[in-house]
Structure 1
């Protein structure tokens, strides 16, 4: 039985993070199963099984300064309810460094990805959400959309106050493949090239193999 709260040790660990780099490292470790709980997520649970193959990409993003908060793979098929489900490969993340944000937006827009930018600061950009999951053709899930101050408290409880202020005032970016289903998995290749996890192959950049992690 998993207890419905974060352990004291994990709470101390997240509270000890002082920089975005520290936060990204802890998120990468949680993604890899080295930490049982993370802020803003069900305690003592790791990523969903469907995102297991995305862990190297997501961990590399976190360690490169792009702290991921949510993701899903591309999928098309019959669900457990017998209805037809389609998903766009998609990820949400927060960026606090303007140079990193510029690099990210340039890379994903050049690859034709759907991009939404949102922050809760007064006068901040508030793009409309993008549908990423449908059930029998009806929208079920969307990424992006207006962010409120209350959303930040739910997303990042227990952080050091100065670090909380940084991520709460960061830029939240939602990126989705335009295609539904497995074809949209090319999103992860684009992001791997961005972080250096996957090396560029001028002949065919979409089929290069990411190096194994040590």
Structure 2
């Protein structure tokens, strides 16, 4: 039986993080199954089975200065409910380093990806959301869109005040494949390139 709350040990780990690098490492450990719970997600549950093949890219992003918060693969299939489901490959990340954000946005747009930028800060950029999942052709879920105080509290309830403030000054970037279905899985190869060390002459 899974208890419906985060363990004290996990809560201590998240609340003790002081830097974005430490936050990224904890998120990577959760993705790898080393931590049972993460903020803003159902306690004592790991990533969804459909995202298992994305874990290497997601953990590499988390350890490269990007903190992933949500992702899904590109799929097109009949669901258990009898409806036809189509998904665009997509990921949402929190980025606090302006240089990393520019690199991400430029690489994604150059590859033809859809990019949405949203700031929690008042007066920050607030791009419109993009539909990422449909059921029988009807919109079901979206990535991107305005971020408010309630969203931040739900996403990061276990963080200490200083790190929470640092994350709140960051930017949420959603990167979405334009294609529905497996063709959009090319997104992960593009993102993997961001985790490689820049080449020097």
Q: Which of the five TM-score ranges fits, normalised by the shorter chain?
A: over 0.9
Equivalent residue for 1:62? Answer: 62
Equivalent residue for 1:41? Answer: 41
Equivalent residue for 1:160? Answer: 160
The number of equivalent residue pairs is 199
Q: Which runs of 5+ in 1 are unaligned?
A: 201-214
User: Where do 1:46-195 residues align within 5 Å?
Assistant: 46-195=46-195
Hey, what's the Cα distance between the residues in 2 that align with 1:112 and 1:140? 23
User: Where do 1:18-29 residues align within 5 Å?
Assistant: 18-29=18-29
In the TM superposition, structure 1's runs of 4+ consecutive aligned residues that sit over 6 Å from their partners are none
Hey, what's the Cα distance between the residues in 1 that align with 2:31 and 2:120? 26
Q: Deviations over 1:134-174 (max 9, x none)?
A: 01110000000010011101100111110000112210001
Q: Which runs of 5+ in 2 are unaligned?
A: none
SS in 1 for 2:54: helix
RMSD: 1.3
Hey, what's the Cα distance between the residues in 2 that align with 1:55 and 1:14? 20
